[in-house]
Structure formats: C-alpha cells, structure tokens
A and B are shown apart, each in its own frame.
Chain A
Amino acid sequence: MSYDDVEIEDMEWNNELQAFTYPCPCGDLFQITKEDLKLGEEIARCPSCSLYITVIYNMEDFIGDSKKHVEPSKQQPIAVA
C-alpha cells in the first residue's frame, strides 16, 4: 500500500542524491530520479524502510530536453508584502 500520493511540485530536488525527495516518516527520504520519471515510474521509495509513495506528475514534462530544468528544485522566493 502506498504511504501517500505526493505531487511532484511538493517534492524537493536533492542535488547530492540526484533525485526528487519527500520526507519519509522514518526520518529518511522517499526518492525518485529523473530517469525513473522519464520511464513512467511513479513509485518513490525510501532506502531505509519498506514504505513508498506514489508520485503524481506528467510524464511529458520529463521527456525530451533532459537539460531543461523542468521543476523548481526548491520553493522559489516569493515576494511578500
């Protein structure tokens, strides 16, 4: 059973891991690579435990120009009045 459904925009790009990540309740991170996403993989796994999440995304966003930065890696600064 998938632990949660998480939209790709809620995941963070982790440069070190070269993967999109999301917090796992065990303390580690659910992870999925751009290559996985291009192949249509929608399961992000935690390397430390049995849990996994389902990633919600458009596969088209990841096919094509691999150098294009498709998703913001982190929340971009937003001007707050």
Chain B
Amino acid sequence: MSKMMEETERVIEQEEEKEGLVKEEIWSWGAGTEGQLGTGKLQDEHQPQLIHSLSSFTSISYLSCGGAHVIALTPGGRVLTWGRGTSGQLGHVEMVNCLHPKYVESLEGVFITHASAGWNHSGFVSDTGYVFTCGDGSFGQLGHGDYVSRCSPVQVLHFKTRHVVQIACGMRHSLVLLKGDTEDLIYGFGSGKRGQLGISDDKQKSLSIPHVTLGLENVKIRIIAANGDHSAAISLNGHLYIWGRAFCGASDVYRPCRVTADLPLIQVALGWNHALVLTGDGEVYMLGRYNYNVPTGIQNDNLMKHISEDEAVMQRVIDFDSRKVVQIGAGAEHSALVTDDGSVMTWGWGEHGQLGLGDIDDQTGPRIVSLCNEQSRKPCVGRVYCGSGFTFIVRT
C-alpha cells in the first residue's frame, strides 16, 4: 500500500473519530505477563482495565484472542496486534512481545474481514477471499507446505483461487471455511494427532498442506471454531459438529460428529476441555467440563442441568434471571457471555484474574463482571472475546 493511501485512510479514520462514529470501550483482564492485555504493563489484572491505547486511535470491529496475543480488526479492514510475539504471531517482522496495539504493516492495503489468533499463530482472511498466516509453523499450522515459522503474514497459496471466508486457529492446527455456490468446504492443516483436522478416520500426524474435512458434504456452514485440540462448526440450520480431542475423557473424534441437540444453535465457543453453545432462544449449554483443580462433583452440582439423558454431554448453564444470552466466549479453562441487557458474566478458572471479578477465585457458575466507570452504567451492546487465560470486551 502506498504512503498516500495510508495517509488517506488514516485521515478517514481520524474524521470518523471526530464525527463521533467510533467510541466503543475496550476492557481487558486476566493473565497479562506477555503484554496481551494491551495495558502497557506486564502483569495480571484481576479487575477490568479500560484500554485507552486502543480506544484512542481507532474503532475496533472485531477481536480474536489467542494463547497470549490479540488481533484486532478495524471497520476499514486494518489489522492491529499485540501481546506475545516470540513466534512471529504478531506479524510485526520482529519476533518480540508488543505491549501496545500496533498495525501489521505488511497487511496494509489488504482489506481484512476475518482473523483468528491461535496458541502461537495467527490467520487473516481478506475481502477477496485470500488467507494469510504467520507465527509458529512447527506443526504445519500455517498451511504453507512446510514446518517453518513466519514473522510476517504470508498468503496461503493453496487457496489462491478459492474464496475463503473464515479461519479458526487452535493450539497446533488451523481450519479454513470456503463458501461455494453449491456447498461449503472446511479445510484443516497442522497437527491432526487428536483428530482435530477431521480429514480421515484415523489420527494424523502433522500436515502442512490443507486437506478437506470429511463428513460435512452438503452441509452449509455458519461458523467454524478451533481451540486447544478441538474443532467445531455450526451449520446454517443450527446443528453442531465437533471433532478432535474428546470432551469428558471419551475417545477422540477423527471426523466431524453431529452432537445431538433438538435446539437450533447459533454460536459455539471452544475451550481446551469444554465447549459452550448458544441457542437461538438465548440459552447456553456446555459440553465437557473444566479441567483444573476444582473437584468434579462441585462443578456438576452447581448451576448446571443435564438435558440429554442418553449421554449427558450437554448441560444447560442456568441462573441468568430470565435474561437472554446474546454472545458467548471461551478461554482455555474459563467462560464468558453477554446478556441482552448488556451484562458480562464469567465463570470457570480464575487463578490469573481472567474472570474479572476482582479476585483469583474459581467460579462454578456465571457471575456478573462490574466495570468501574460512569459510562458503564449506560445501556450498551458488548462483545466478549477470551484468550487462553485472559478476557476482552468491546462495548459500543
């Protein structure tokens, strides 16, 4: 992108700001020792922190949080990253941590519409359907046909002539969603050891070239998700498909398996040992369980209700005082949601303050996060995004 275009865009963004079109608040909390909270400090935060560095320079339309880094997209398709950068996952060329949001220069001039932050790698999708990846490539998770890490986003040539719409990055693998005229296709690459690529009936070693995920023929896909060694997709008609590492100690699933649910689902969020799904009616269900030091009995007795008698895999997360849930997020071992009245609730593992409740306690059920400023009392629409041990919200 030329200097002039860059200048023009910057001016446009400045004008947008002047007109008051932008002004969402960005808050973060939890593990922060790699700079992932964007606070400019290398420390954990147990309470929500308002991130001035982000709100001050541009509007943010989308966030994705990984192992210890964050990708932010602006409405104009520009990309900011910060946090851990030692594997090249920030795309800043220099493989170092970055405490403040910084534009990814090599993507300037490309309009990025979707992005995903994995454990130590990143994926970006452009409006023209191109895919770019950077970061740790040891398991082939960058999709370039090798096992080399990249410090700056590189186009995945396998999809050069295809139209990609989404990417999802897990711990050591990636998924890509292609929208076709007649059918949608999901491709997987990276580690397939737990079945997370869904490309065969057996476990796979690492694959550095994208392969088509099986068992989703003639299924129209709404969203794909990846975290830990898990993969998931939700179809347009509201079915959930999961593959990869087993939940609850069952066997790993090597190709997409439809989860029995009578309710149409609209969102899925994956942790390392659990998954959340959101129904069209605003209810949240959880698969699997948290896997930290909380005794299993306590987890299951509190606030969870079994709905599936045959397998008891899906449990309803209750106690929202009749509020509906509009969005969900999952970190490695914690969960978060936004209700229709704009409240943010969190539960799960809390050792790094990732629940934002002011302490480091674990919570077996949803608790309201309070944001300490005047504006927080205004009605708002928020979105929540979880990284492994930290949490972000964007409020407009």
Residue A27 lies at the interface, judged by CB distance under 8 Å to chain B: yes
Determine whether the beta carbon of A23 is less than 8 Å from that of B171: yes
What residue in chain A is nearest B120 (Cβ atoms)? A23
Residue B254 lies at the interface, judged by CB distance under 8 Å to chain A: no
Within 8 Å by CB of B352, from A4, A49, A74, A78, lies A49
Least CB distance from B301 to A in Å reads 18
Contact residues of B between 65 and 83, Cβ < 8 Å to A: 67-68
Residue A76 lies at the interface, judged by CB distance under 8 Å to chain B: yes
Asked whether A75 and B388 contact (CB < 8 A) given A10-B193, A27-B68, A49-B351, the answer is: no
Cβ–Cβ < 8 Å partners of A12 in chain B: 138
Residue A40 lies at the interface, judged by CB distance under 8 Å to chain B: no
Residue A3 lies at the interface, judged by CB distance under 8 Å to chain B: yes
Least CB distance from B21 to A in Å reads 34
What residue in chain A is nearest B146 (Cβ atoms)? A77
Cβ–Cβ < 8 Å partners of B352 in chain A: 26-27, 48-49
Determine whether the beta carbon of A51 is less than 8 Å from that of B292: yes
What residue in chain A is nearest B352 (Cβ atoms)? A26
Asked whether A75 and B138 contact (CB < 8 A) given A25-B333, A26-B388, A27-B36, the answer is: yes
Residue B332 lies at the interface, judged by CB distance under 8 Å to chain A: yes
Least CB distance from A58 to B in Å reads 19
What residue in chain A is nearest B349 (Cβ atoms)? A25
Within 8 Å by CB of A78, from B119, B206, B272, lies B206
Cβ–Cβ < 8 Å partners of B119 in chain A: 23
Cβ–Cβ < 8 Å partners of A48 in chain B: 31, 33, 352
Contact residues of B between 1 and 57, Cβ < 8 Å to A: 31, 33-34, 36
Within 8 Å by CB of B33, from A25, A28, A74, lies A28
Determine whether the beta carbon of A25 is less than 8 Å from that of B272: yes
Residue A15 lies at the interface, judged by CB distance under 8 Å to chain B: no
Residue B293 lies at the interface, judged by CB distance under 8 Å to chain A: yes
Determine whether the beta carbon of A80 is less than 8 Å from that of B145: yes
Asked whether A25 and B389 contact (CB < 8 A) given A3-B291, A51-B292, the answer is: yes
Per-residue interface assignment for chain A, residues 9 to 24, with 1 indicating a CB less than 8 Å from any chain B CB and 0 otherwise: 0101000000000010
A25 to B67, CA, bound (A): 8
Cβ–Cβ < 8 Å partners of B207 in chain A: 78, 80
Contact residues of B between 309 and 338, Cβ < 8 Å to A: 331-333
Per-residue interface assignment for chain A, residues 58 to 75, with 1 indicating a CB less than 8 Å from any chain B CB and 0 otherwise: 000000000000000011
Determine whether the beta carbon of A27 is less than 8 Å from that of B293: no
Least CB distance from B290 to A in Å reads 10
Main secondary structure of the interface of A (DSSP, over half): loop
Residue A1 lies at the interface, judged by CB distance under 8 Å to chain B: yes
What residue in chain B is nearest A74 (Cβ atoms)? B138
Cβ–Cβ < 8 Å partners of A77 in chain B: 146-147, 208
Asked whether A27 and B31 contact (CB < 8 A) given A3-B291, A12-B138, A78-B206, the answer is: yes
Asked whether A27 and B147 contact (CB < 8 A) given A74-B138, A78-B206, A80-B208, the answer is: no
Asked whether A74 and B147 contact (CB < 8 A) given A12-B138, A23-B67, A27-B34, the answer is: yes
Asked whether A25 and B147 contact (CB < 8 A) given A48-B31, A50-B293, the answer is: no
Cβ–Cβ < 8 Å partners of B272 in chain A: 25
Asked whether A3 and B206 contact (CB < 8 A) given A25-B272, A25-B332, the answer is: no
Least CB distance from B196 to A in Å reads 13
Asked whether A26 and B351 contact (CB < 8 A) given A48-B33, A50-B293, A78-B205, the answer is: yes
Cβ–Cβ < 8 Å partners of A28 in chain B: 31, 33, 68
A77 to B84, CA, bound (A): 25
Cβ–Cβ < 8 Å partners of B292 in chain A: 1, 3, 25, 51
Least CB distance from B3 to A in Å reads 37
Cβ–Cβ < 8 Å partners of B293 in chain A: 1, 50-51
In the complex, the 4 A-B pairs of residues with the closest C-beta atoms, listed nearest first: A25-B332, A26-B389, A27-B68, A27-B389
A-B contact pairs, 19 of them (CB 8 A): A3-B292, A4-B291, A23-B119, A25-B333, A27-B31, A27-B68, A27-B389, A28-B33, A51-B292, A51-B293, A75-B139, A75-B205, A77-B146, A77-B147, A77-B208, A78-B205, A80-B207, A80-B208, A80-B209
Measured CB to CB, the residues of B under 8 A from A are 31, 33-34, 36, 67-68, 84, 119, 138-140, 145-147, 171, 191, 193, 205-209, 272, 291-293, 331-333, 349, 351-352, 387-390
